[in-house]
Amino acid sequence: MDIERHIIFWRDSAQEDWEVAVHLIRSGRTRHGLFFAHLALEKLLKALVCQHTQDIAPRIHNLVRLAELANLSLNEEQLDLLAEMNVFNIEGRYPELLEPPLLQQEAEHYLQRAEEVFQWLTNQLST
């Protein structure tokens, strides 16, 4: 099994999903944009899980759990953001859980906070 290939896949596709998230939120598609922001964070975390465990990342979507599996030393603000972002993964998948989309300003605030964590996670990768 080529773990390095998995790490590169997760890292590169996270970057692509991040760019999509930014574009969607800036064009007013907040629900979809935050779904992609969650996905980008999830993929970076999966790269870090692979890096730490030298094994394939589990097929889970909980950002906090993935951070634990990657053995990351996150601060309280980073952990809070990951926990808050989890709702955007679920909300985008199940119609009975749909809430009204966030206001543009709220979505951009989440994006700003998520970008700080996204950059920090990227810097943790040794690849």
Instruction: Please give the CATH superfamily to which domain 3-124 belongs.
Output: Nucleotidyltransferases  domain 2 (1.20.120.330)
pLDDT digits (tens, 9 = 90+) for 7-31: 999 999 999 999 999 999 999 999 9
pLDDT digits (tens, 9 = 90+) for 76-91: 999 999 999 999 987 5
DSSP, residue by residue, 14-79: HHHHHHHHHHHHHTT-HHHHHHHHHHHHHHHHHHHHHHHHSSPPPS---HHHHHHHTT----HHHH
Cβ neighbours of residue 117 closer than 8 Å, sequence gap 6 or more: 41, 78, 81, 82
Quote the tokens at residue 52.
Answer: 């730490």
pTM (predicted TM-score): 0.94
Domain boundary assignment for the chain: 3-124
Angstrom distance (rounded) from CA 106 to CA 127: 33
